[in-house]
Amino acid sequence: MQILLVGCGKVGRTLIAQLVKENHDVTVIDTSETVIRDIVRIYDVIGIVGNGTSHEILEEADIEHADMLIAVTDMDEVNLLCCVIARQQHSCHTIARVRNPVYSKERHFLRSELELSMTINPELEAAREIARLLQFPNAIEIDSFGKDAVDLLRFKVAAASPLIDKALKDIPQDITHNILVCIAENNGKITIPDGSYVIRHGDTLTIIAVPGEAEKFFRRIGVKTNKVKDTLIVGGGGITYYLTEILLKRGIDVKIIEQKKSRCEELSEMFPEAVVDRGDGSDQELLNEEHLEEMDSLVACTGIDEVNAILSLYAQKKVRTKVVTKLNHLEFNEVIRTLDLDSIVNPKLLTAQRILQYVRAMHNGIGSNVETLYRLMDGQVEALEFIVQPGSDMTNIRLADMHFKKNVLIAGILRNFRLIIPGGQDRFMEGDSVIVVTTNIGFGDIHDILA
């Protein structure tokens, strides 16, 4: 597809890297000549210096032949105006990053009246992700397929787990019923496991299951699965606003620590059911006064990554169940991994991922049948959802008779919203969603899984 991208900040750069990998023709627009020069040097894209709201600049970027315009500058109004101009002058799809809560509440109106294909709010996406993790605190990370009918859940194997030193094929069926282990990690090594894989101390496993079955699995291995009853949020920014709104609706008690007096007053007025205290959430003495050890969870949500990381490391030894760390920077992934943080949420990465999912879904109509794609473990693993199209030559063939590429796992078949954990006798049928996990990067068609 031919894609125009306006705004080359962290979200923009993440999108550029992925779109180029997926062989789209990308033209980038930014007001900074230095930024454009750097991006053109690194990526195979066309770069234009200018304002994306200028019709002349859009014409220079060949908006007439563009399939999509994505506007992710730091200004909501610029993003919206870029999309409006592109949509009115040319019938391309448009996506706008919109962060202001006022606009977020009116997103349905904006989409319909301005004919936007999609609006995305990084803070709201991050809040939703954090809320999911607090609902299922055993998971480090949760990714969904089949319109949230199936989950991939990543979790650390506890030291006393009954799974340790057992090969996957030797784990009793009553434990692994309706779940499948898709990925195993240990000391940075990633494995797409088969039945002979032996689970070891220190492993982080990724399983596929429908949400109810995942809860049963964790209970079978002696892990409590109850959602948290309360949470302490440190930092009172946009994510905290959305997260508090979500958690209170779900009956979870919320306590907020925020340094700015004016923001404390705003949050207290907006959420009278929540407890809002003024102070430095990184102050150990204050945390003890707030009875941190009695809280089910903590969300480190200040505007400084270093503070969030240190606060989380301290909290992991105190809170009962779950610690979530918000990080803004995309760099230093290797350093972050060594910190052994519980769950990390990155608003910019989430935003890029959601936009890419829309791009892939749109791309289905012109040659690709990837419905959903997640890049996991810093891009070393892909989890993909393919739709088996009518007339496909891959239907009605036993999986045992197919020859798959190395490191390809058929993790699940979703048929009529029912998850099938596939065996050798199972077959693909028209309309199935086929979930594939692989270390082979760049599959665009279901036939790519074949050797």
Token code pair at residue 108: 């349905």
pLDDT digits (tens, 9 = 90+) for 145-171: 777 778 889 998 888 888 999 999 999
Task: Give the per-residue pLDDT at 183.
Answer: 93
- If one compares 102 and 84, the residue with the highest pLDDT of the two is 84
In this structure, the answer to whether residues 341 and 427 fall within a common structural domain is no
Domain assignment present for residue 220? The answer is: no
Whether 142 shows a pLDDT value over 70: the answer reads yes
Q: How many H helices and E strands in the chain?
A: 15, 22
Domain assignment present for residue 289? The answer is: yes
The closest of 65, 69, 49, 67 to 57, measured between CA atoms, is: 49
The closest of 139, 104, 141, 106 to 121, measured between CA atoms, is: 104
What stretch of H or E contains 244? helix 238-249
Classify 408 as helix, strand or coil. strand
10-21 and 347-363 helices, crossing angle to 10° = 30
Domain assignment present for residue 181? The answer is: no
pLDDT digits (tens, 9 = 90+) for 348-406: 888 888 888 788 777 654 444 677 777 777 778 888 888 888 888 999 899 999 999 99
Task: Give the per-residue pLDDT at 3.
Answer: 95
pLDDT digits (tens, 9 = 90+) for 308-361: 999 999 999 999 889 999 998 766 666 776 788 889 999 988 888 888 878 877
In this structure, the answer to whether residues 329 and 418 fall within a common structural domain is no
Other CB atoms within a 10 A radius of the CB of residue 213 amount to 18
> Rounded to an integer, what distance in angstroms lies between the CA atom of residue 137 and that of residue 226?
8
The H-assigned helical ranges of 90-150 are 101-105, 107-113, 122-135
In this structure, the answer to whether residues 6 and 116 fall within a common structural domain is yes
In this structure, the answer to whether residues 282 and 321 fall within a common structural domain is yes
> Rounded to an integer, what distance in angstroms lies between the CA atom of residue 258 and that of residue 149?
37
Whether 189 shows a pLDDT value over 70: the answer reads yes
In this structure, the answer to whether residues 385 and 282 fall within a common structural domain is no
Domain boundary, last residue among 120, 145, 176: 120
pLDDT digits (tens, 9 = 90+) for 408-442: 999 999 998 888 999 899 999 998 989 999 998 87
- Mean pLDDT in residue range 77-92: 88
The CATH number of residue 371's host domain is 3.30.70.1450
Domain boundary, last residue among 99, 120, 141: 120
In this structure, the answer to whether residues 423 and 366 fall within a common structural domain is yes
**DSSP assignment of 251-292:** T-EEEEEES-HHHHHHHHHH-TTSEEEES-TT-HHHHHHTTG
Task: Give the per-residue pLDDT at 334.
Answer: 65
In this structure, the answer to whether residues 235 and 254 fall within a common structural domain is yes
Residue type, 165: D
> Which segments within 305-428 are labelled E, that is strand?
322-326, 343-345, 370-376, 381-387, 408-415, 418-420
In this structure, the answer to whether residues 366 and 322 fall within a common structural domain is no
Domain assignment present for residue 68? The answer is: yes
Domain boundary, last residue among 296, 322, 349: 349
In this structure, the answer to whether residues 283 and 368 fall within a common structural domain is no
CB 296 within 8 A of CB 319: yes
In this structure, the answer to whether residues 277 and 371 fall within a common structural domain is no
* Domains contained in the chain, number: 3
Domain assignment present for residue 213? The answer is: no
Domain of residue 100 covers 2-120
Residue type, 358: Y
